[in-house]
Amino acid sequence: MKMKLATGLAAFTAIAATLTPTTTAAATQPGPTGGSSAITAGGASGASRSASDFMSQSRSLGLTAVQARALQAEADANVSRTGGTQVAPNKIDLGGATMTLAVPGEKYARDLTQPGSARAAASCGYGHMCAYKERNYVGNTIDMVRCADYRIPWVTRGSWINNQTTGTRARFKSSDGVVRWTSPGAYSVDPNADWSWVHWVRNC
């Protein structure tokens, strides 16, 4: 009887072990030179939410059904292009940077989750490098803080602001990961940048 109980307990333990979730390391997005970029898996608050959840939140924040669908389609496209994680209706975590999407019909990207957030001209905080989808600092924005390679998902005429520590230069890389152009040292700007050939920006 004791042998049977011991055998049964061992079998139960083996089965339970297969059902216990394991913790995995944060995923990384392949960088432009075969290494790793700053993309890491987002937190549970973003990763566990579905597109319908984000659209529902967009509606609760005052967007129309049409705006909510268009915003989510834009978010899905940019998550696919960058490997980031959507964490709010118009925010994508890039691991060291945040992409903020402009609400359909609005000129500037803003924090949709903050009531009364400004629809004013874009700004780029000190210590940051900011890339904009459109010229003159308009449209979707990537706000880079940590030093890393960040995927630029646009092929538009856009813009950027380098407001990092004085003298810091940003490096613009083509699809093969080669640096093709280096910016002037901070503080520097370009209101009419050509993103068509830029696949990655290393902000430092």
Q: Is 142 part of any domain? A: yes
Q: Is the pTM of this model over 0.85?
A: no
Asked whether the predicted pLDDT for residue 110 surpasses 60, the reply is yes
Asked, for residue 138, whether it belongs to a domain, the answer is yes
By CB atoms closer than 10 A (0-12, 13-18, 19+), residue 8 is exposed
Q: Among residues of the chain, what percentage have pLDDT more than 70? A: 73
pLDDT value of position 174: 97
Is residue 17 predicted with pLDDT exceeding 60?
no
Report the distance separating Cα 193 and Cα 66, nearest Å.
31
> What is the pLDDT of the chain when averaged over all its residues?
82
The residue range of the domain holding 179 is: 31-106+124-202
Amino acid, res. 139: G
Tell whether 2 is covered by a domain. Answer: no
Note whether residue 94 is domain-resident: yes
The position carrying tokens 């490098």 is 129
Q: Which two tokens stand for residue 136?
A: 């003159």
Token pair 């994680």 in the structure block, residue: 85
Tally the domains of the chain. 1
The predicted-structure confidence for 166-200, as pLDDT tens digits, reads as follows: 999 999 999 999 999 999 999 999 999 999 999 99
Q: What are phi and psi of 135, to 5 degrees?
A: -65, 160
**Lowest pLDDT segment from 14-18, 91-95, 109-113, 182-186:** 14-18
Please check whether residue 22 lies inside any domain of the structure. no
- Answer whether residue 113 is part of any domain: no
CB contact at 8 A, 136 and 189:
no
CA atoms of 192 and 126, how far apart (whole Å): 21
CB of 128 closer than 8 Å to CB of 144: yes
Q: How confident is the model at residue 121 (pLDDT cuts 50, 70, 90)?
A: low
85 assigned to some structural domain = yes
Give a yes or no: residue 50 inside a domain.
Answer: yes
